[in-house]
Amino acid sequence: MTTTTPDRPDPAGRELPAHARPLGARLAAGAATPGGAVYVLVAVLLVSIIISNPNFGDPSSLIRFAGRTAPIAIAAMGQYYVIVSGEFDLSMGAVVTTQVIIAGNMAGESAGQVVPVLVLMLLVGVLVGLVNGLATTLLRVPSFIVTLGTMLALFGIVRYVAGVAPAGNPVDEFRQIGRGGIEGVPVVEVVPYPLIIVVVLAALAAYSMRRPFGRALVAAGDNSEAARLGGTSVWWIKTRAFIISSLSASVAGIILVGYAGGRAVGEGYEFSAITAVVVGGVVLGGGRGWVLSAAAGAYALELLFVLLTVLEVPSTWRPSVQGLIIILAVAASARVWQVGRRAATVPDPDRSGPGHPTQPIPGTHEGEKR
Amino acid sequence: MNRHASRRVLAAAAALTVLAACSNGGSDDSEGSGEEWFVQADFDEQMEQRDATFEGDPATPWLQYIDGEMTDTSQYAAEGPKKVCFANASVSNPWRQTGYLTMQQQLEVLKGSGAISEMETRDAQDDDNTQIADIDYFISEGNCDAFIISPNSTAAITPAVERACDTGKPVVVFDRGVETDCATTFIHPIGGYAWGIDTANFLVENLEEGDRVIALRILPGVDVLETRWAAAEKILEEEGIEVEDHFTGADPSEIKKIISDALVQGDVQGVWMDAGDGAVAAIEAFEDAGADYPVMTGEDEMSFLRKWEETGLTGLAPVYSNFQWRTPLLAVQKIFAGEEVPKEWVLPQKPITEDERGQFLADNEGLPDGHYAKFGGEDLPGFPQVWIDRKVG
Amino acid sequence: MSATVTSPRGLRARGAGLSSTAIVYLVLLGAIVIGAILTATAGRNFFSSGNISAILTATSILGLVAIGQTLVILVGSLDLSVPYVVSLSSLVGGTMMAGQTGNIVPAVLVTVGVAAAIGLANGLIVSQLHVHGFIATLGVGLIVSGYLGTNYKGSAGSAPGAFRAIDETKIGPVPVSVLIMVAFAALAILLLQRTRIGHHMYAVGGSPEVARLSGLRTSPPVVVAHVLCSVMSALAGLLLLSRLSVGSPTIGSQGGYDLLSIAAVVLGGTLLAGGRGGILGTLGGVAIFAVMDSTMGALQVNPFLKDVVRGVIIIAAVAVYARRNLQVRPARFSAQEAR
């Protein structure tokens, strides 16, 4: 399927993703990249919160926070695959809502329903991703438009069929996935299942990005045509990214319906996920950024919200602070990438990097070019 | 490189200054600040209406009203079934969806009795601009005998309602009001201040000075919700309760996060909500944190009533009477029969207390979580299946 | 990154823009025919003056926003802050007018000025701080939304009768608001086709790198497009003020003008990646939406199903355009691939 091999030069002639290098170099380089800076941001926010209110430093509080942030971190990792391949997935929120309603309407009676309904939900996730991916790659509709369309259609279908709210909560066994955890653990009291899920998925994600699939994905996002000429079947690579994105939204939905119950969750989730990815230093337009940094971006954003609460910023001003922060974070990361690029002294005449005023919007050009 | 960087910093500074400047410039002369928003006269009126006597049979609260000015409708008296045109704000939340289902079933009854021939509905999908277009369309194209309008917002829809009135046909406005009294009747429960008063009084009675209350509000800038909080905040602050308000977008996971964080910061004795969506998530946040249940006000949504009973917490279910969705069509029937209707038809709005809760739970058994207990449609055809299936249109 | 030949960018862009505009108007014609038939099955006349005027009115607000959005998309950016600029403009205009006819002119000027400042901020953040348009305008939109939520708890201000007349006046079945929108569309077309900055917008959007290498300063077109987009949104907000008679802090979000305007632009055949397309096509896209909505309204289609239809039509239409672009392109390989 993919013929990009590890020893092959990066199609765009730039540095390989950092994880391709030895650990020492990786750490050193890490601090200087936006993908690494986000971890510093997480640490700074965490310390600020704990200084402002030491209660948040309590291990059991921290681990609960880590657990409840899992769904958005998972969604961010899924969105990462699409963004790094140069596309966009706006249908994520609608997928979350769909899954919440399926769970609430179909798994409300007995524990025996849990597994079949979970399977159904994951199948729905695959289907939506497949539609997004094929419409983007084969019909050549920009993914921004495809996923905007599937967002509208999916929200509409679900609300038409099932109403604006699910009939009820799924059974407790189902909700345990998002609400429960391993009890009686020393120090932290409980290890929430969502935290375990996000850690496992993060490990899988990091592994997948080292595989030929991951390299081909980054290559496709960096220069779709070059990747194609290099023998990558770009349409299938990108379609898989969309499926991963939809599946991650489905997993987020499964956790959310457990965490908070079956109500109208999901609207706007795609914007949260995209914001998290970008705060994680991943470049919109594809080809650059690390998957774990996307998850870290989600943690940074959620920590920011907690900090705003702790600092008692009036609730009406919070969107403004959020807006300011994401602009500053991305502006900073644009600068860092740029410096990194200049240091690498690899001129790249046909690609407008983030150092350019108008980098094309990901997912705005036809999915796969010719 | 350096020159570039400094230029960019300058540009950034300029951009942010521009933003800061426009926010500062605006706040000097902005209207609608907290104090101006709170209308003492409306507060006082609704305070009184809470204890008013309602005319009519308490068994059919959707036909009850507070005695007041009546509209003479003899000019509209006419034989035969009439066509009603309904400009609906939206069916985008469980409360509106429940009400719309009730209205559809009431319509079936009135079609059967020959009072109404059909109801043409246009749904504005929560947009003022669309609703204005909908009303204008009805006026020019609808061949309507009467208009029913559920305004998406108060002031903005006023001009369009006036245009509907200008046709000389009866106009029934319900739920949110408009700033004109041209309508034949304006049907609504007592209002947002009454909601705020009921809920705040309940919290004050059950809490002590200095206790901490988390207010969970859906979103800013919506007048019907702002009045609820304006009244509650005033009372709570006067009584020395500490309040923190948050916007949730009615998203249960947001709600749960807000409560969880508040519990990390310190004990929470009370929770106030401007609508019951997601009340369960708030309660579960206390469970998960191992904290004592709060004193809480939710809404008459089934999910809250069920959770309230299950947990036995000290609670109140304020009601923004969903049964008002029955009234407009019945008002149209009265109008064409030439019977007088109240100019301002104020419906009862009584919270469900712990004592009454069991009855409402029993009456609405098997209905979905997003159903509203005081929907008033138990005697309509299709009960309960229609409200279980929740198919709109 | 668009895979087209990059040399005589502007010329090609406009050449291709015209023919793809023809397709858009064919789709519009199809929508009208189908709409008229379906409307007739509901016992209504699609071509009655009331219906025509309703359809035209529906194009005015979205049309203005979409004109601005077209400019921004042409330079390769996009603007998600439009709903908040629309709301803010309706409020600034409304509170400054405060019901007094004499205040109309200063209120309009200040409103446009405030919006231009926001557009300037968008443009500078995109071009100088190199923040992607998606994030820059999302962020600025959030900043404005916080301001709105803090300072306005509902509708505010009041439009005097003279200002409300803009919305109420019609010439035959044609509302004045539509004429205003069309006038600004004409101005935007002139800007794009007859001015240097307009040509530069196509050039920068088509290939920023080539534009830069050919000695073009790439920032000004981006900044100008963002400023104009915000100004167009302000005009839409003022038009809403004239229709609603009050300013509203949520009116922009209610209309969903961010995603809807982007969809309309793309439905109008403009390339979302920038550099190709035009205002005329966008007007066609807006009209297609209006005809669809009118038809579904007459048929009393369930509001949720309306969204499904909208979503499917957007994807289908753009798929058709994409197929056509494929056939038109002469070069098998772009300059980029020939490297």
Angstrom CA distances, B171 to B16, B98, C196, stand at: 49, 23, 55
With a pLDDT cut of 90, the percent of chain C lying above it is 77
In a domain, C319, yes or no: yes
Residue B221: is its pLDDT beyond 80? no
Is residue C336 very low, low, confident or very high in pLDDT (cuts 50, 70, 90)?
very low
pLDDT at A29: 65
- Read off the DSSP letter of residue A361: P
Cβ atoms B192, B251 nearer than 8 A = no
Residue A7: is its pLDDT beyond 50? no
Is residue A21 very low, low, confident or very high in pLDDT (cuts 50, 70, 90)?
low
Q: Enter the tokens of residue C218.
A: 């790439």
CB < 8 Å to C325, chain A: 366
Cα C201 to the center of its chain, rounded Å: 16
Least confident of A281-290, C32-41, C241-250: A281-290
> Hey, which residues 85-104 in chain C have their CB within 8 Å of chain B?
92, 95
Cβ atoms A63, A186 nearer than 8 A = no
Is residue B52 very low, low, confident or very high in pLDDT (cuts 50, 70, 90)?
very high
In a domain, B42, yes or no: no
In a domain, B106, yes or no: yes
In a domain, C20, yes or no: no
Interface touch A320/C145, C-beta < 8 Å:
yes
Do B106 and B196 reside in the same domain of the chain? no
CATH code for position B98 = 3.40.50.2300
- Read off the DSSP letter of residue C156: B
CA nearest neighbour of B212 among B296, B136, B156: B296
In a domain, A351, yes or no: no
CATH code for position A179 = 1.10.3470
pLDDT at A322: 87
Instruction: Give the residue from chain B lying closest to C52, CA to CA.
Output: B137
Query: Percentages helix, strand, coil for chain B, rounded to the nearest 5?
Result: 50, 15, 35
Cβ atoms C326, C320 nearer than 8 A = no
Least confident of A239-243, A359-363, B262-266, C172-176: A359-363
A185 DSSP β-pair partners = A189
With a pLDDT cut of 90, the percent of chain A lying above it is 54
Radius of gyration of chain B (CA): 23
Is residue C257 very low, low, confident or very high in pLDDT (cuts 50, 70, 90)?
very high
Residue B178: is its pLDDT beyond 50? yes
| Crossing angle between the packed helical segments B302-311 and B354-363, to the nearest 10 degrees | 120
How far C55 CA sits from the closest chain B CA (Å)?
A: 9
How far C35 CA sits from the closest chain B CA (Å)?
A: 16
> Quick one: residue A105, left, alpha or beta (phi over 0 = left, psi -120 to 50 = alpha)?
alpha
* Residue C205 to residue C4: CA distance in whole angstroms: 12
Chains touching chain C at 3 or more Cβ pairs under 8 angstroms?
A, B
* Residue C235 to residue C233: CA distance in whole angstroms: 5
Task: From B293, B316, B339, give the residue that closes a domain.
Answer: B316
In a domain, C236, yes or no: yes
Give, in degrees to the nearest 5, the angle at Cα C100 between C99 and C101: 120
Interface touch B260/A168, C-beta < 8 Å:
no
Q: Enter the tokens of residue B270.
A: 């009370």
Angstrom CA distances, B73 to A287, B65, B168, B171, B264, stand at: 71, 17, 12, 11, 60
Sign of CA dihedral C279, C283, C289, C293: positive
pLDDT at B306: 95
Interface touch B37/C240, C-beta < 8 Å:
no
With a pLDDT cut of 70, the percent of chain A lying above it is 82
Q: Enter the tokens of residue B146.
A: 């009467």
Q: Enter the tokens of residue B120.
A: 């043409």
Q: A344 in contact with C at a CB cutoff of 8 Å?
A: no
Residue A363: is its pLDDT beyond 70? no
| Residue A179: how many other CB atoms lie within 10 Å | 23
Is residue B237 very low, low, confident or very high in pLDDT (cuts 50, 70, 90)?
very high
ω before A362 within 30° of 0 (cis)? no
pLDDT at A162: 86
First vs last C-alpha separation in chain A: 18
Instruction: Give the residue from chain B lying closest to C148, CA to CA.
Output: B221
pLDDT at A238: 94
In a domain, C248, yes or no: yes
In a domain, B176, yes or no: yes
Is residue B391 very low, low, confident or very high in pLDDT (cuts 50, 70, 90)?
confident
Do B222 and B265 reside in the same domain of the chain? yes
* Residue A13 to residue C328: CA distance in whole angstroms: 31
Q: C177 in contact with B at a CB cutoff of 8 Å?
A: no
CB < 8 Å to C222, chain A: 357-358
Please compute, for residue B69, the number of CA atoms within 13 A of its CA located in the half-sphere on the CB side: 7
* Residue B91 to residue A137: CA distance in whole angstroms: 36
How far B90 CA sits from the closest chain C CA (Å)?
A: 8
Average pLDDT, chain C: 89
Interface touch B265/A256, C-beta < 8 Å:
no
| Residue A43: how many other CB atoms lie within 10 Å | 12
CA nearest neighbour of B155 among A188, C241, A169, C85: C241
In a domain, A350, yes or no: no
Tell me what the mean pLDDT of segment B211-216 comes to. 96
pLDDT tens column, A120-173? 999 999 999 999 999 999 998 999 999 999 999 999 999 998 888 888 889 999
- Compare B363 and B38 and report the one with higher pLDDT: B363
Do B340 and B267 reside in the same domain of the chain? no
Domain total of chain A: 1
* Residue A76 to residue A249: CA distance in whole angstroms: 9
Interface touch A165/B368, C-beta < 8 Å:
yes
Residue type, B84: V
Residue B49: is its pLDDT beyond 50? yes
pLDDT at B38: 85
Phi, psi of B344 (to 5 degrees): -120, 110
Q: Enter the tokens of residue B115.
A: 């009072």
Cβ atoms C188, C71 nearer than 8 A = yes
In a domain, C229, yes or no: yes
pLDDT at C219: 93
pLDDT at B36: 54
Instruction: Give the residue from chain A lying closest to B303, CA to CA.
Output: A168
In a domain, B43, yes or no: no
* Residue-by-residue DSSP string for C128-154: TS---HHHHHHHHHHHHHHHHHHH-SS
Three-state DSSP at B245 gives strand
Three-state DSSP at B344 gives strand
* Residue-by-residue DSSP string for A227-290: HHHTT--HHHHHHHHHHHHHHHHHHHHHHHHHHH-SSS--TTHHHHHHHHHHHTTPPTTSS---
Domain total of chain C: 1
Do B260 and B115 reside in the same domain of the chain? no
Interface touch C209/A370, C-beta < 8 Å:
no
How many beta-carbon pairs under 8 angstroms link B with C?
A: 164
The residue among C155, C170, C222 with the most chain B CBs within 10 A of its CB, best to mutate, is C155
Interface touch C139/A364, C-beta < 8 Å:
no
In a domain, A359, yes or no: no
Is residue A26 very low, low, confident or very high in pLDDT (cuts 50, 70, 90)?
low
Residue C337: is its pLDDT beyond 50? no
pLDDT at A340: 57
B245 DSSP β-pair partners = B215
pLDDT tens column, A205-219? 999 999 999 999 998
Interface touch C243/B12, C-beta < 8 Å:
no
Range of the domain at A72: 18-344
Residue A367: is its pLDDT beyond 70? no
Sheet holding B315-316, edge to edge: B242-247, B212-217, B270-273, B295-297, B315-316
Three-state DSSP at B5 gives helix
Alpha helix segments (H runs only) across chain A = 23-31, 34-52, 59-68, 70-84, 92-106, 114-137, 143-162, 172-179, 193-210, 212-222, 224-229, 234-260, 269-279, 291-310, 318-344
Interface touch B265/A55, C-beta < 8 Å:
yes
Cβ atoms A103, A257 nearer than 8 A = yes
First vs last C-alpha separation in chain B: 63
> Hey, which residues 115-134 in chain C have their CB within 8 Å of chain B?
117-118, 120-121, 124-125, 128-129
Tell me what the mean pLDDT of segment C46-64 comes to. 94
Domain total of chain B: 2
How far A334 CA sits from the closest chain C CA (Å)?
A: 6
In a domain, C144, yes or no: yes
pLDDT tens column, A321-351? 989 988 998 888 777 766 655 544 333 333 3
Residue C14: is its pLDDT beyond 60? no
Is residue A233 very low, low, confident or very high in pLDDT (cuts 50, 70, 90)?
confident
Q: Which helix (H) or strand (E) holds C259?
A: helix C257-267
Radius of gyration of chain A (CA): 20
Instruction: Give the residue from chain A lying closest to B16, CA to CA.
Output: A324
Is residue B2 very low, low, confident or very high in pLDDT (cuts 50, 70, 90)?
very low
How many beta-carbon pairs under 8 angstroms link A with B?
A: 111
Do B212 and B151 reside in the same domain of the chain? no
What is the pTM (predicted TM-score) of this model? 0.88
pLDDT tens column, C118-138? 999 999 999 999 999 999 999
* Residue C58 to residue B132: CA distance in whole angstroms: 10
pLDDT tens column, C279-302? 999 999 999 999 999 999 999 999
Strands B70-71 and B54-55 come out as unpaired
pLDDT tens column, B63-95? 999 999 999 999 999 999 999 999 999 998 899
Q: A316 in contact with C at a CB cutoff of 8 Å?
A: yes
Angstrom CA distances, A188 to A51, B178, B359, stand at: 20, 55, 43
How far A258 CA sits from the closest chain B CA (Å)?
A: 10
Range of the domain at B131: 52-190+321-351
Interface touch B15/C249, C-beta < 8 Å:
no
CATH code for position C171 = 1.10.3470
Interface touch B281/A166, C-beta < 8 Å:
no
Residue A364: is its pLDDT beyond 90? no
Nearest to A366 among C144, C205, C322 (CB): C322
| Crossing angle between the packed helical segments A114-137 and A92-106, to the nearest 10 degrees | 160
pLDDT at A5: 38
> Quick one: residue B267, left, alpha or beta (phi over 0 = left, psi -120 to 50 = alpha)?
beta
Query: Percentages helix, strand, coil for chain C, rounded to the nearest 5?
Result: 75, 0, 20
Please identify which residue in the block is written with the tokens 């942030």. Answer: A69
pLDDT at C111: 98
The residue among C244, C301, C305 with the most chain B CBs within 10 A of its CB, best to mutate, is C244
The residue among B29, B104, B128 with the most chain C CBs within 10 A of its CB, best to mutate, is B128
Instruction: Give the residue from chain C lying closest to A283, CA to CA.
Output: C132
pLDDT at B20: 44
Is residue A358 very low, low, confident or very high in pLDDT (cuts 50, 70, 90)?
very low
Is residue A359 very low, low, confident or very high in pLDDT (cuts 50, 70, 90)?
very low
Task: From B265, B292, B316, give the residue that closes a domain.
Answer: B316
Range of the domain at C223: 44-329
Least confident of A294-298, C17-21, C70-74: C17-21
pLDDT tens column, B284-326? 999 999 999 999 999 999 999 999 999 999 999 999 999 999 9
Do B240 and B265 reside in the same domain of the chain? yes
Q: Enter the tokens of residue B136.
A: 């204008």
pLDDT at B224: 79
CB < 8 Å to A358, chain C: 75-77, 126-127, 133, 204-205, 208, 218, 222, 274
Cβ atoms A370, A143 nearer than 8 A = no
Q: A166 in contact with B at a CB cutoff of 8 Å?
A: yes
Angstrom CA distances, B219 to A319, B115, B319, stand at: 12, 40, 19
Is residue A30 very low, low, confident or very high in pLDDT (cuts 50, 70, 90)?
low
